[in-house]
């Protein structure tokens, strides 16, 4: 979503942006900003995922106590987080 002429828009196609009067330089700026925000969101989700995995790494050690039920599935779901259709803005976090 971006703001142009005091209105919010979601369509980033060249045709649409041309039709509402966005010039090429502004269009490129909007697209770069959206890419930056997407990358930032991806990094944030991956950082949380990595933190959650690290919290359960202890159970993967050979001399660790018995892991909680469902831990293997939980860890796999965390690793698969980037495959969710809503990634990175609408992520469903797994639970043990």
pLDDT in tens, 21-39: 999 999 999 999 999 999 9
pLDDT band at 94 (very low <50, low <70, confident <90, very high): very high
Tokens 């293997």 sit at which residue? 72
Q: Do 67 and 61 form a contact (C-beta atoms < 8 A)?
A: no
In the predicted model, is pLDDT for residue 9 greater than 90?
A: yes
- Is omega for the bond preceding 88 within 30 degrees of 0, making it cis? yes
Determine the Cα–Cα distance for residues 80 and 74; give it in Å rounded to an integer. Answer: 10
Q: What contacts 16, CB < 8 A, 6 or more positions away?
A: 9
pLDDT score, position 33: 96
Q: What contacts 64, CB < 8 A, 6 or more positions away?
A: 58
pLDDT in tens, 42-78: 999 999 999 999 999 999 888 888 888 999 999 999 9
β partners of residue 56: none
pLDDT score, position 67: 86
pLDDT score, position 68: 87
């Amino acid at each position: 979503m971006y703001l142009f002429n005091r209105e919010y828009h979601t369509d980033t196609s060249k045709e649409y942006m041309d039709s509402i009067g966005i010039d090429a330089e502004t269009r490129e700026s909007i697209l770069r900003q959206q890419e930056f925000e997407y990358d930032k969101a991806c990094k944030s989700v991956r950082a949380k995922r990595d933190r959650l995995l690290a919290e359960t790494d202890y159970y993967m050690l050979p001399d660790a106590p018995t892991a909680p039920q469902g831990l293997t599935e939980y860890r796999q779901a965390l690793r698969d987080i980037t495959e969710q259709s809503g990634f990175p803005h609408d992520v469903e976090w797994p639970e043990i």
